[in-house]
Chains A and B, each alone.
Chain A
Amino acid sequence: MEMVYEWFRTLYQETGINLPFLYDEYDRNRMIDGLFTTVKLSLVCLFFSIIIGVIGAWLQGSSFKWTRRFVSGYIQLFRNTPPLVQLYFFYFAIGTLLPRVENDWGGQSPIFGSFAWAAISLSFFAGAFNVEIFRSGIEAVPKSTVEAAEALGFSKLQIYRDITLPLAFRVVLPALNNNLVNLVKTTTLAYAIAVPEMLYEANQIWSDNVNVTEMMVFLLLAYFVLVGILVSGMNRWERAMKIPGYG
């Protein structure tokens, strides 16, 4: 491994192509941390945004007027505001209003740090889209199927969980795929509230080494690969869930 690192150091000396995150141990560690933070933030947001989507779509079909209004209010708020503004809003506006806790260096710090706020804010942002995506799938399930289930004595929750949702899931996968890809790309915005993800670490490195061009090329390729892995996973899932003759 040392030899590979040394090769990149020589590459810099010989050609001026500077990739310090390969040969400099400190920069390498922060780039790796950045990659893990991006992956962790993406996974957390993917998980919670899908949960929000599933629950939100179910609540939207509620027979209580106020539940439906609440869900649509949530969607309007989060879908119609820019995610960067939401991040700043949560971190700087809401974050300072919440009670503080004693931290281990003798000061007072907010309950949620920047990572937690990024996870919360981006999950809600993508979740708002997911609610609408799941709704489209639920509406695509034929009314007669639901009626048949009702006739067989299924409860409302059972119908949603065992009949509507599994069928809807297959319909929404392409649209969900799109939104989740967008979500992974949106995690770069967390850079604004100092979440040490890939773009943030790359920025630190290019500020120290003045190698903006190289870092930009690297970042583009890194996200291309990262999102490519997600897309191929989603496609595989889509194929595995396929029911012959449906959809």
Chain B
Amino acid sequence: MKIKTLAATLVVSALSISAATADILDTIKERGTLIVGTKADYKPYGFLDTSGAVIGIEPDLAKDVADKLGVDIEFVPVVSSNRMQFLEQGKIDLMIATMTDKPDRREVVLIPDPNYYSSGTNVLALKSLGLKEWEDLRGKPVCGIQGAFYNKATSQTYGAEIVAFKGTAEAYSALKGGNCAAFVYDDSAIVAKAADPDWADYEMPLQTIDDAPWGLAVALGEEKFGQMMSEMIIEWHKTGRILELETKWGVTNTPFAQAMHDKYK
């Protein structure tokens, strides 16, 4: 009896070791689907079309990865406060979700180099408020997204009172409802919003700060997958795929994407 239990324990532990060391690429190929976490509320980088499907620049990039692996693709909508946890828990294989590349994030997930995109922080505010500089936000309620890294900076450095919501839909609606003076968010998304006729009374009045690169991520320890993603990112820059997708989704070509294309051309 004792030997049986011992043997069983050995088998179980051997199994768990092999499961832990199994490469995620093999798992993906076996499964036949690549599960990617993207934003679903971040036009035009990742959003929902009228049928409810996830579309945008990042889903398009994810599709390139799935095509390269020769598997189907499945999207899991993520938000800023859960995207790294989803990756850690293995709910998703790959995360391309407008995430700013930060050193402390590199301790939690594997972010392959080089960066695929870049953006900074700005605010969307009523034109009538006449904001000129970041200091003008002091003491005013400013909408934000729960989990965004610049919330702390905006309140600590510029003295704004951050009112953070779960998703962008709530934040935009709170801004329109007058619950806050401005909405602090990525400039890339604000540019698209300010061009929207529904938001004609709003503008992006400030100097963009914190221009920071975005990183896509795989789970920590997945070196092989990370290596493959590095090659893919270089390929995207080289072929001008990012610039092409920006044009496709109505974004003016960003200086970062242009510079990376020139560098790898």
Q: What residues make up the interface of A, taking CB atoms closer than 8 Å to B?
A: 26, 92, 95-96, 100, 103, 105-110, 113-114, 192-194, 200, 203-204, 206-210, 212
Can you give 21 contacting A-B residue pairs, CB < 8 Å? A92-B174, A96-B173, A105-B129, A105-B139, A106-B129, A107-B128, A107-B129, A110-B179, A114-B163, A192-B166, A200-B164, A203-B81, A204-B152, A204-B164, A206-B81, A207-B80, A207-B147, A207-B149, A208-B149, A208-B151, A212-B85
Contacting residue for B181 out of A26, A107, A208, CB 8 A = A107
Residues of A within 8 A of B143 (CB): 194
Residues of A within 8 A of B198 (CB): none
The B interface, classified by DSSP as helix, strand, loop or mixed, is: mixed
In the assembled complex, the Cα of A200 lies from the Cα of B81 at a distance in Å of 12
Contacting residue for B179 out of A106, A113, A206, A210, CB 8 A = A113
B165 nearest in chain A by CB position: A194
Q: Are B147 and A203 in contact (CB under 8 A)?
A: yes
B177 nearest in chain A by CB position: A96
Count of chain B residues with a beta carbon within 8 Å of a chain A beta carbon:
34
Residues of B within 8 A of A114 (CB): 163, 179
Known contacts A107-B129, A212-B85; A207 and B148 CB within 8 A of each other? yes
Q: Are B178 and A100 in contact (CB under 8 A)?
A: yes
Indicate whether B265 reaches chain A with its CB closer than 8 angstroms: no
Q: What residues make up the interface of B, taking CB atoms closer than 8 Å to A?
A: 80-81, 84-85, 104-105, 107-108, 126, 128-129, 139-140, 143, 146-149, 151-152, 156, 162-166, 170, 173-174, 176-179, 181
In the assembled complex, the Cα of A193 lies from the Cα of B141 at a distance in Å of 14
Residues of B within 8 A of A206 (CB): 81
* Residue with the greatest number of chain B CB neighbours at <10 A, chosen from A105, A106, A194: A194
In the assembled complex, the Cα of A95 lies from the Cα of B139 at a distance in Å of 22
Q: Are B126 and A210 in contact (CB under 8 A)?
A: no
Residues of A within 8 A of B147 (CB): 203, 207
Q: Are A26 and B156 in contact (CB under 8 A)?
A: yes
A208 nearest in chain B by CB position: B152
Residues of A within 8 A of B148 (CB): 207
Known: A110-B177, A110-B178, A194-B165. 19 other contacts (CB 8 A): A92-B173, A95-B177, A95-B179, A105-B129, A105-B139, A107-B126, A107-B128, A110-B179, A113-B179, A192-B166, A200-B164, A204-B146, A204-B164, A207-B81, A207-B148, A207-B149, A209-B104, A210-B84, A210-B104
Residues of B within 8 A of A204 (CB): 146, 151-152, 162, 164
Residues of B within 8 A of A208 (CB): 149, 151-152
Residues of A within 8 A of B181 (CB): 105, 107
For the complex of A and B, 9 pairs with smallest distance between CB atoms: A207-B147, A109-B178, A194-B163, A96-B177, A105-B140, A108-B178, A208-B152, A105-B181, A210-B108
| Nearest-Cβ distance from residue A116 to partner chain B, whole angstroms | 11
In the assembled complex, the Cα of A212 lies from the Cα of B84 at a distance in Å of 11
Q: Are A92 and B178 in contact (CB under 8 A)?
A: no
Residues of B within 8 A of A203 (CB): 81, 146-147
Residues of A within 8 A of B104 (CB): 209-210
Residues of A within 8 A of B164 (CB): 194, 200, 204
In the assembled complex, the Cα of A103 lies from the Cα of B129 at a distance in Å of 12
B104 nearest in chain A by CB position: A210
| Nearest-Cβ distance from residue A166 to partner chain B, whole angstroms | 43
A27 nearest in chain B by CB position: B152
In the assembled complex, the Cα of A212 lies from the Cα of B146 at a distance in Å of 14
* Residue with the greatest number of chain B CB neighbours at <10 A, chosen from A26, A96, A113: A96
In the assembled complex, the Cα of A209 lies from the Cα of B139 at a distance in Å of 25
In the assembled complex, the Cα of A204 lies from the Cα of B152 at a distance in Å of 8
| Nearest-Cβ distance from residue B251 to partner chain A, whole angstroms | 26
| Nearest-Cβ distance from residue A6 to partner chain B, whole angstroms | 21
In the assembled complex, the Cα of A95 lies from the Cα of B140 at a distance in Å of 19
In the assembled complex, the Cα of A182 lies from the Cα of B34 at a distance in Å of 42
Residues of B within 8 A of A113 (CB): 179
Contacting residue for A92 out of B84, B152, B170, CB 8 A = B170
B80 nearest in chain A by CB position: A207
